[in-house]
């Protein structure tokens, strides 16, 4: 069927009317989340895989399928069971149950294979989801309480001032303070580990590692766009392609090739861009849905240092995929882990273009720039390697404790100020990565939860119980 241009124009017009709903504050979420955010969290397994339907039936997801790049439901090729009865088909996720009818999915044969309709809001009166063949579809209502604690969106910063706990902390022996921070760090690592292993359960081990490494490349401002790209371009598909096609897909789905004109390029960048474009135009039609403005990753480019520009980081992701077997082997089995060898593999990565360019349009630098530097390796160790491996080989915890603190983090600085003020011990407790991680956990659990300027925070009193 040929799309009708006026209908398409009106659809865009009316969808803009409903865009307020798609970005609305959903029950239980402190911050507005877009439909895209919710789909990404779902696909990463952040809501879990066992649910109860609106009719009280047990629903289990055994395969989260593929994020659909064309017309039709959000996720295709999924496997679920309802009361132990296996079903294969597609899954649609909407902010509101009524979106099914608003978007006319019930009259669209593309949605006839849907076996599960997920939504967050529902009208008071009973709402049934039906296909164009009048088959009733199982419904599951999702909410924020299902979302694992560590998957909740960023909660901002607490005020920069000395906290009430600074006095009892100052009076405590250093070994006790160390013990609290180390315990909080281990708790944080366990949370990260659970998140990663949820993703392993939803997507398989290598896909989960790939998505987690992509997230680490997006740190700190562009984690979600990187996760989104890795979810939409699964590892198993990318590894079948040659490097040029792979890079073209990464940059194309990121939306970076859509906005470039030949006239923007300089002779030094033109050859690489032409290579990307010559592959992208062949794949582009398959990805049209993702090129819609509301589907594109929301890149944060302001206040980004040139070395952290997402285009450069995407170049690094493509380069990591070129050396994937070397990168994944130490993570595939905890007994084969070698921190030194893994670090060396990452630091040695190089690319014909990205080892000398900060962005797709930037002139080449006079000297090669490390594609993945020490701080990026540290980010990957802290958020991928050790969370994945420590629960599988607990002696790696001792190795984790020795990692130096390389990451500069505004929240850590804020936590040190609040907990230690000008106590010189504050510096001692920020020398290692686990110090930073432990302080971040305390900061998120107590400082960000407190709205009483410390007056009602239980942390200072609890310190007395810590032995
Ligand atoms: S909120 Fe609690 S943990 Fe944070 S600075 Fe105040 S007393 Fe300390």
- 381: exposed, middle or buried (Cβ count in 10 Å: 0-12, 13-18, 19+): buried
Q: Which two tokens stand for residue 259?
A: 């906005």
131, 151, 171 — which closes off a domain? Answer: 151
Q: Which residues of the chain have pLDDT under 50?
A: 1-5, 7-22
pLDDT at site 20: 40
94 and 224 housed in the same domain: no
401, 416, 447 — which closes off a domain? Answer: 401
292 and 335 housed in the same domain: yes
SS3 content of the chain, % helix, strand, coil (to 5): 50, 10, 35
Instruction: Please check whether residue 292 lies inside any domain of the structure.
Output: yes
| Residue 48 region by backbone torsions, left for phi larger than 0, else alpha for psi between -120 and 50, else beta | left
Instruction: Kindly state the helix (H) or strand (E) to which residue 236 belongs, with its residue range.
Output: helix 235-238
pLDDT at site 235: 97
Instruction: Please check whether residue 145 lies inside any domain of the structure.
Output: yes
What is the tally of helices (H) and strands (E) in the chain?
A: 20, 7
Instruction: Please check whether residue 157 lies inside any domain of the structure.
Output: no
Candidates 412, 417, 455, 457: which one to mutate for ligand 1, based on the most atoms within 8 Å of Cβ?
A: 457
pLDDT at site 218: 93
Q: What is the DSSP string of 78-119?
A: EEEEETTEEEEEEEEEEEETTHHHHTTGGG-GGGTTEEEEEE
Q: Which residues have CB under 8 Å from 458's CB, separation 6+? A: 446
Of ligand 1's atoms, which has the minimum distance to the CA of residue 457? 2
Domain interval for residue 343: 184-401
pLDDT at site 332: 93
Instruction: Please check whether residue 342 lies inside any domain of the structure.
Output: yes
Instruction: Please check whether residue 425 lies inside any domain of the structure.
Output: no
**By the 8 A CB rule, do 103 and 65 touch?**
no
Instruction: Please check whether residue 32 lies inside any domain of the structure.
Output: yes
Candidates 163, 411, 440: which one to mutate for ligand 1, based on the most atoms within 8 Å of Cβ?
A: 163
Find tokens 């509101």 and name the residue. 96
**What is the dihedral sign for C-alpha 415, 417, 423, 427?**
positive
333 and 275 housed in the same domain: yes
98 and 189 housed in the same domain: no
Instruction: Please check whether residue 414 lies inside any domain of the structure.
Output: no
Chain segment 8-31, per-residue pLDDT in tens: 444 443 344 334 434 555 666 666
Q: Which residues have CB under 8 Å from 10's CB, separation 6+? A: none
Instruction: Please check whether residue 164 lies inside any domain of the structure.
Output: no
Chain segment 186-221, per-residue pLDDT in tens: 999 999 999 899 999 999 999 999 999 999 999 878
Find tokens 């939504």 and name the residue. 119
Find tokens 């989104």 and name the residue. 228
> How many structural domains is the chain composed of?
2
Of all protein residues, the one whose alpha carbon is nearest to atom 4 of ligand 1 is 447
63 and 136 housed in the same domain: yes
Q: 427 CA to middle of ligand 1, Å?
A: 18
Instruction: Kindly state the helix (H) or strand (E) to which residue 436 belongs, with its residue range.
Output: helix 433-442
Spell out a b/e string for 384-407, using b for 16 or more CB atoms within 10 Å of the CB, else e: bbbbbbbbeeeebbeebeebebbb
Pocket-forming residues, ligand 1, beta carbon under 6 Å: 163-165, 418-419, 446-447, 450, 454, 457, 459-460
pLDDT at site 175: 94
Q: Which residues have CB under 8 Å from 121's CB, separation 6+? A: 26, 27, 95, 96, 97
pLDDT at site 309: 94
pLDDT at site 248: 97
């Amino acid at each position: 069927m040929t799309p009708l241009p006026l209908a398409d124009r009106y659809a865009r017009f009316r969808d803009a009317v409903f865009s307020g709903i798609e970005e609305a504050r959903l029950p239980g979420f402190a911050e507005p989340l877009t439909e895209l955010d919710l789909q990404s969290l779902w696909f990463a397994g952040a809501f879990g895989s066992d649910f109860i339907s609106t009719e009280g039936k047990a629903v289990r997801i055994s395969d989260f399928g593929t994020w659909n790049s064309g017309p039709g439901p959000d996720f295709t090729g999924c496997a679920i069971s309802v009361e132990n009865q296996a079903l294969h088909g597609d899954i649609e996720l909407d902010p509101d149950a009524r979106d099914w009818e608003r978007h006319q999915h019930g009259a669209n044969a593309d949605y006839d294979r849907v076996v599960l309709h997920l939504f967050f809001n529902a009208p008071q009166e009973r709402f049934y989801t039906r296909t164009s063949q009048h088959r009733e579809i199982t419904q599951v209502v999702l909410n924020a309480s299902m979302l694992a604690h560590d998957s909740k969106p960023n909660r901002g910063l607490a005020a920069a001032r000395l906290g009430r706990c600074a006095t009892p902390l100052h009076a405590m022996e250093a070994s006790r303070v160390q013990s609290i921070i180390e315990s909080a760090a281990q708790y944080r690592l366990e949370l990260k580990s659970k998140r990663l292993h949820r993703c392993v359960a939803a997507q398989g081990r290598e896909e989960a590692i790939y998505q987690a490494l992509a997230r680490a490349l997006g740190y700190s401002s562009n984690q979600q766009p990187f996760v989104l790209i890795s979810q939409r371009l699964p590892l198993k598909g990318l590894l079948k392609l040659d490097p040029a096609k792979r890079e073209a897909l990464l940059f194309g789905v990121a939306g970076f090739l859509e906005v470039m004109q030949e006239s923007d390029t300089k002779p030094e960048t033109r050859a690489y861009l032409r290579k990307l474009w010559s592959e992208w135009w062949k794949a582009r039609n398959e990805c049209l849905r993702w090129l819609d403005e509301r589907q594109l990753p929301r890149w944060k480019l302001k206040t980004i240092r040139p070395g952290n520009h997402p285009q450069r980081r995407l170049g690094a992701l493509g380069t990591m995929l070129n050396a994937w077997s070397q990168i994944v082997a130490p993570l595939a089995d905890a007994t084969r882990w070698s921190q030194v060898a893994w670090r060396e593999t990452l630091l040695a990565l190089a690319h014909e273009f990205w080892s000398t360019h900060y962005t797709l349009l930037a002139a080449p630098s006079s000297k090669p720039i490390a594609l993945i530097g020490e701080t990026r390796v540290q980010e990957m160790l802290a958020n991928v390697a050790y969370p994945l491996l420590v629960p599988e080989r607990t002696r790696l915890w001792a190795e984790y404790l020795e990692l130096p603190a390389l990451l500069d983090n505004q929240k850590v600085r804020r936590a040190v100020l609040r907990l230690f003020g000008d106590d010189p011990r504050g510096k001692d407790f920020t020398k290692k990565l686990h110090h930073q991680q432990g302080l971040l956990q305390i900061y998120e659990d107590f400082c960000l939860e407190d709205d009483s300027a410390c007056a009602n925070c239980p942390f200072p009193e609890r310190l007395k119980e810590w032995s």
